Amino acid sequence: MNIDEAARLRAEYEARGLVEGDMATEPFSEFQTWLSGVVAADIEEPTAFVLATADGSGRPSSRALLMKAFSEEGIVFYTNLASRKSEELRMNPAAAATFVWIPLHRQVRFEGQVVAVDAVDADAYFAGRPRGAQVAAHASAQSSVVSSRAELEERYAELELAFGDGEVPRPTTWGGWRLLPSAVEFWQGRVNRLHDRVRYRQDGDMWIKERLAP
């Protein structure tokens, strides 16, 4: 991590705070600006976020993931389609994602509906993954109970031998999800815990900016 750059940016961000009129008219451009600052500070895993889902009865669960694509269509992440998170997203296609960049005293929260990424995009992303990760996607039935680490490694070795030097196809149980936000909140730490919170709320084709109390 570039500690000096992170400290400089944090001090600058805290001093300036968030002013609604200085922020983009929609959340996607604003998020891109924030993400660029995170990258400039060389913070480890700048695209890491925590995804919260809930099952059909409303019981929540959360886990850390990496964002693999971002646009005005939302946040994209990839996973095993038979995993707990995927099962919950099919039962209850709504989720929340939180990016936290502690060295900059910043976070961004997304909330909205979730849809599956189409097969063409999933194939393209899978083809660009490291070969080891491709084989592992076949070897691991994510979220299922396994007897031991040795069982996983044995399965991996068998598949590695079976695929040889050939192409590793995308498993039918592996794909992506896209979070389509209807609300995005930007949080900036300030002195005396009087933090800045600005939320973009979707209203038809428009985004409304509103300040929230800390």
Give the closest residue to 184 by CA, choosing from 146, 213, 151, 210.
210
Q: Classify residue 193 as left (phi > 0), alpha (psi -120 to 50) or beta.
A: left
Residue by residue, DSSP assigns 86-149 as HHHHHHS-EEEEEEEEGGGTEEEEEEEEEEEPPHHHHHHHHHTS-HHHHHHHHH--TTS--S-H
Q: Which residues contact 40 (CB under 8 A, 6 or more apart)?
A: 5, 9
Structure tokens at 123: 């194939």
193: annotated active-site residue: yes
- Angstrom distance (rounded) from CA 70 to CA 165: 33
Q: Which residues contact 160 (CB under 8 A, 6 or more apart)?
A: 135
Torsion of CA 5, 39, 211, 64, to 10 degrees: -120
Task: Please identify which of the residues 193, 197, 201, 211 carries the catalytic annotation.
Answer: 193
Active-site positions?
Answer: 193
